[in-house]
Amino acid sequence: MNHRFALFLVVAASALIGTSANTRCYKIVGNVTCSLKPFNRPVEIQLIDEDGLPWETDDLMGRTWATRDGSFKIEGCGNDFGQWNDPDPYLKFIHTCTKNHGYAGEKGPFVQSKMLVSESYLPHVITLENVDLHSLELSPLLADRLLMAQPGRLLLLVALVLEACVSAAADDEFEASLLQKRRIGLRLPNILHLSEPLVMEKRRIGLRMPNIIYLRAPDEKKSSNSRSWFL
């Protein structure tokens, strides 16, 4: 009887996971460049769903290579457990646009660069302008330097609150945006008024945010087709 009950639990859990996974599909078009030197190897682009739980691994949703002129198109689908939990997409570029030596690949030294993208899923197509892989590789943001120290997350939290106060005083128009909780469980007040680049940076370093905050895209008025950003 115990074995039957255990088997029933396994089957029920599998069915629950299968029916509760939230599948989203993404399509991204763009162009990669290298301000350092011409590309001497093809640039590989991977579309990946970031999974923040310790026992999970990031899921590959799609893979492609840029053309000779740098243009690329990539698409794929991902799913995460729970109807509230959309995939967290990012692009991984494997390329040779660097002054330093990368790892030895089949055709030469390569480096990897990561770029977060909007969670706007199909039928919306995400369009990227020229992506300079050298700048992407060599542009550490303030949050990276803060997180090198133990109290770094607290300092970043203070920076977020200060920016929220300044933004709220300068602009009365807010856009409600639902944000997913991420890795470290910070509880911030719901009145934060965050700029789009900072939201993307918090996604990049894995900070969790409350379910609802106010989000303002820079130099963008509130409209019916306003964008939503997720952490």
**pLDDT tens, position by position, for the chain (231 residues)?**
455 555 455 445 554 444 456 788 999 999 999 988 888 889 999 999 987 666 678 889 999 999 999 999 999 998 876 666 778 889 999 998 887 655 544 455 778 888 888 878 888 899 998 999 988 865 443 334 333 333 444 555 555 555 555 554 444 443 333 343 344 444 444 344 445 556 666 666 665 543 334 434 334 344 333 333 333
pTM of the complete model: 0.53
- Please report how many Cα atoms fall inside a 13 Å half-sphere around the Cα of residue 67, on the Cβ side: 8
CA distance 230 to 207: 11
Tokens of 65: 């290579």
Residue 46: the pLDDT is 95
Tokens of 157: 């939290």
Residue 96: the pLDDT is 87
Residue 67: the pLDDT is 94
Phi, psi of 204 (to 5 degrees): -65, -40
Whose structure tokens read 């991204």? 28
Preceding omega of 38 cis (within 30 degrees of 0): no
CA distances from 174 to 74, 119, 164, 188, 230 (A): 33, 20, 11, 17, 16
Nearest to 84 by CA among 32, 36, 119: 119
CA distance 121 to 105: 32
CA distance 42 to 164: 42
- Please report how many Cα atoms fall inside a 13 Å half-sphere around the Cα of residue 221, on the Cβ side: 1
CA distance 226 to 177: 10
